[in-house]
Structure 1
Amino acid sequence: MTAHVIGDDAEALEVAASLAGEFRADASARDVERRLPRAELDRLSASGLLAVTVPAEHGGADVSAQTLAEVFRLLAAADASLAQIPQSHFSYVNVIRRQGTEEQQKFFFAELLAGARLGNAQSEAGTRHVRDIRTRLERRPDGGYELTGVKHYSTGALFAHWIPVLARTDDESLHVAFVPRDAPGLTVVDDWDGLGQRTTASGTVRLEGVRVPADRVLPHHLTFAGPQVHGAVAQLLHAAIDAGIAAAALAEAARFVRTKSRPWFESGVESAAEDPLLIQRFGELAIQVRSAEALLGDAARAVDAARADLTDDSAAEASIAVAAAKVVAAQAAVEVASALFEVGGTRSALNSLNLDRHWRDARTHTLHDPVRWKIQHIGRYVLNNTRPPRHGLL
């Protein structure tokens, strides 16, 4: 593998904007055909965008959280499925950065700079809740490990070079095992059939006695032993995807009303775009999108501030700021994508136009974790100064 190495934040944003323009052209067709974006992901790898958070001392651009969030927002506005695929990639780059040994960092950061993609094998179905991880990482006599379990919603795994797998060791502590995509005993099943995010290939990973060397295992439980922004960064990227979906839906709605809609006969105007009631509604929707984008930027700055001076208080501020951004972005994505049909009228519902992909993507992606709990944590923080929990989802 070879990849371009991006030098700084400005270049990262320039590359992201350029790729988004490319990816937007066939996004609807990929959704309709459930055509997996393998070529597009190869372009993403070759561009160097997947290595922009590699630390400077290892040759990376080490971009800010603000830049990374904008990269994801740009990509999601072009193709929400494609943007979601590398979300876990960046989360596990952070795990390597925080918990990897010097040798592990040297190895994996070199892989990333060469264009390697990290997938994910985290969630499990049929367990008590999302943190009930039952995949086992058992010690072998040679000092290595053996990995056994079944994972679901494994976005990115099908396209990955390395698949980080969450598993518990004999003492029940949580670890991440980095497994090559072609490892014996590892099977990735393309069985994702969601109504939205259709081309993320968020299917099943099966692990049957997969051998893992000790130097490919990192102690993830230590990530949450002190103040951290691991969860805040992961959630920030989810919020960026939702904000991107909302922006795309608003732009699509405006194009449709300007070019394809007829004015309602009672409006007395010549074009739908002159209808004062539609103008009012577009103003309301634009405020929602702008609010989501503003809170996204605010949250990213809070994450950057916490990284610069990581304390219990700064980490809490970052998590609360990200939670607020995620709530508003999720609400904006669902409402604006739905309102597209309200303002577009009957013709906008034609299957051939595939405008429902924005709503389907929004409705599916915003189910990742419930925003109602984020509102709870925000309320507790504001009212009682209760810091949010350190569980990686806030």
Structure 2
Amino acid sequence: MSTGGHPFAPPHHEQRWVDTATELAAEFAKTAGALDQSAELPLANLQALHGSGLDAALLPKELGGEALSYRSYGEIVRLLSAACPSTACIWVMHIGAGVGLAEISAPDAARFYADELIAGRRFANALSEPTSGNLFMMPMQHAEPVDGGFRLTGAKRFASGCEIADHFLVNALVEDKPTFFGLAADPATMRFIPIWDTMGLRASRSQLIEFTGTLLREDRRCPALRPKRPNHIGAGLAFLSLGIADAALAALVDHARRRIIPTTGEPLARMQWLRFDVADVHARLEAATMYARHMCWLADENSAEFVPATIRAKQLANGLAVDAAQLAVRVGGASAGYLRSSPIERIFRDAQAGGLMAYSLEVCKDTLGAALLDGHDG
């Protein structure tokens, strides 16, 4: 897959990474259905991503990486999501936590986390609290001071890939201020609550974590709340939904071309209503794609406009993925769109997840709408 030909294309010298992701995605697609059925973590896929060098490539150059552009990163997330969105979801969170810790930690800890990521250690986020809704950057749970750091008792939810994580990015209130820490997995004080029985992204296994006096070490406290570069989670979420929309559109087009209407003897693809609806979805997909790519360009420029752009990009992509998947179900009908034997059924369930992830689709709309109505830019 070449990404050239548009103004926000990845740098030419990074095309090899997009090609690598294209090859990996083709293999991941073969097991996506089975992993969904079993709700089993796609460990082999995650290991393949690390083995390809993609994990390390996203680190800053001074920490042993290539500072891979956000423009390339977005295309890669989209490819992975179209093939196996659970794999893409875990990988986005893994990179967000691993590269994030390397960029907001003190120098010695930053070097440690970069080396751990390069060595293949797994990272996960533990930021969202059961009572905090979408305010994952604003923790409500207090960490109490003790010798060597602070102790946290509470819970974090929706920690994708937490069961195989070696390190966590976690936050808590310290002296009433949101504070971030790197945390090594601690089986003695951390417990994963087996509540994961979700409708979509089943293989992401985003569990609830219970902390009981877990030590947040002072030397793993992150002094900088804002990294030198934008976090990869915000940049990746829109592309998770765009990849699912790609899969939905491809599945419905394939079915419409092969499905013959008994009364006319013509393929379903000849139906005018379908052509109208497919044209609408395709146009919206192109528009959402261009805005998401613009958002990544802003990230590469380290622009202050990146944050509001992530909200707009996520809103556009989340809604589009749901609409594309709904159209695929209509086209597939009972046999190809509703039964578990069809990939369309899984794609429809996966499409719902993006709008629920923080910031949820409703929070995105409220934030942008309030900014406009209050008379300033969102």
Given the two structures, how large is their TM-score scaled by the length of structure 1? 0.84
Distance 1:383 1:86, change over 3 A: same
Question: In structure 1, which of residues 220, 223, 227 is the aligned counterpart of residue 226 of structure 2?
Answer: 223
Q: Does 1:254 align with 2:253?
A: yes
Question: In structure 2, which of residues 189, 193, 198 is the aligned counterpart of residue 194 of structure 1?
Answer: 198
Larger CA deviation: 196-205 vs 379-388? 379-388
**Structure 2: runs of 5 or more not aligned:** 1-12
Per-residue displacement from partner, 1:246-284 (whole Å, max 9, x unpaired)?
A: 00110011112222x22263xx45222233332232222
* Mapping for residues 263-278 of structure 1, pairs under 5 Å: 263=261, 265=263, 268=264, 270-278=266-274
Matched pairs, number? 363
Shift of 1:120: 1.3
SS in 1 for 2:112: helix
Per-residue displacement from partner, 1:76-108 (whole Å, max 9, x unpaired)?
A: 000111111122223334543442111111111
SS in 2 for 1:355: helix
Contact 1:190 1:202 in 2 (8 A): no
Larger CA deviation: 144-153 vs 110-119? 144-153
1:163 matched to which residue of 2?
168
Distance 1:205 1:39, change over 3 A: same
Q: Does 1:362 align with 2:362?
A: no
Shift of 1:20: 0.7
Indicate the RMSD between aligned Cα atoms, in angstroms: 2.5
2:293 matched to which residue of 1?
297
Q: Distance in 2 between matches of 1:197 and 1:48?
A: 25
Shift of 1:160: 1.3
Q: Does 1:75 align with 2:80?
A: yes
Contact 2:38 2:203 in 1 (8 A): no
2:5 matched to which residue of 1?
none
2:315 matched to which residue of 1?
327
Q: Distance in 2 between matches of 1:177 and 1:32?
A: 35
Per-residue displacement from partner, 1:127-156 (whole Å, max 9, x unpaired)?
A: 576356244433323x33333221111112
Contact 1:32 1:354 in 2 (8 A): no
Shift of 1:59: 1.5
1:123 matched to which residue of 2?
128
Q: Distance in 2 between matches of 1:327 and 1:209?
A: 38
**Structure 1: runs of 5 or more not aligned:** 1-7, 308-313, 389-394
Distance 1:97 1:150, change over 3 A: same
Q: Distance in 1 between matches of 2:346 and 2:360?
A: 21
2:6 matched to which residue of 1?
none
Q: Does 1:27 align with 2:32?
A: yes
Shift of 1:112: 1.1
Question: In structure 1, which of residues 133, 136, 159 is the aligned counterpart of residue 139 of structure 2?
Answer: 133
Q: Distance in 2 between matches of 1:42 and 1:242?
A: 23
Contact 2:149 2:216 in 1 (8 A): yes
Contact 1:117 1:159 in 2 (8 A): yes
Q: Distance in 1 between matches of 2:190 and 2:108?
A: 25
Per-residue displacement from partner, 1:301-338 (whole Å, max 9, x unpaired)?
A: 12212x1xxxxxx31x2223322221111111000001
SS in 1 for 2:183: strand
Question: In structure 2, which of residues 47, 54, 68 is the aligned counterpart of residue 49 of structure 1?
Answer: 54
Question: In structure 2, which of residues 178, 190, 194 is the aligned counterpart of residue 174 of structure 1?
Answer: 178
Question: In structure 2, which of residues 351, 364, 367 is the aligned counterpart of residue 374 of structure 1?
Answer: 364
SS in 1 for 2:58: coil
Distance 1:370 1:318, change over 3 A: same
Q: Distance in 2 between matches of 1:175 and 1:158?
A: 24
Larger CA deviation: 204-213 vs 371-380? 371-380
Per-residue displacement from partner, 1:164-199 (whole Å, max 9, x unpaired)?
A: 221122x12222222222453122234211111111
Distance 1:133 1:50, change over 3 A: same
2:280 matched to which residue of 1?
284
Equivalent residue letter for 2:294: D
Shift of 1:10: 2.5
Per-residue displacement from partner, 1:323-378 (whole Å, max 9, x unpaired)?
A: 22211111110000010021223322223224211111111231113334434444
1:3 matched to which residue of 2?
none
Q: Distance in 2 between matches of 1:288 and 1:269?
A: 31
Q: Distance in 2 between matches of 1:48 and 1:285?
A: 35
Equivalent residue letter for 1:223: R
Given the two structures, how large is their TM-score scaled by the length of structure 2? 0.87
Equivalent residue letter for 1:137: A
Contact 1:242 1:365 in 2 (8 A): yes
Distance 1:325 1:134, change over 3 A: closer
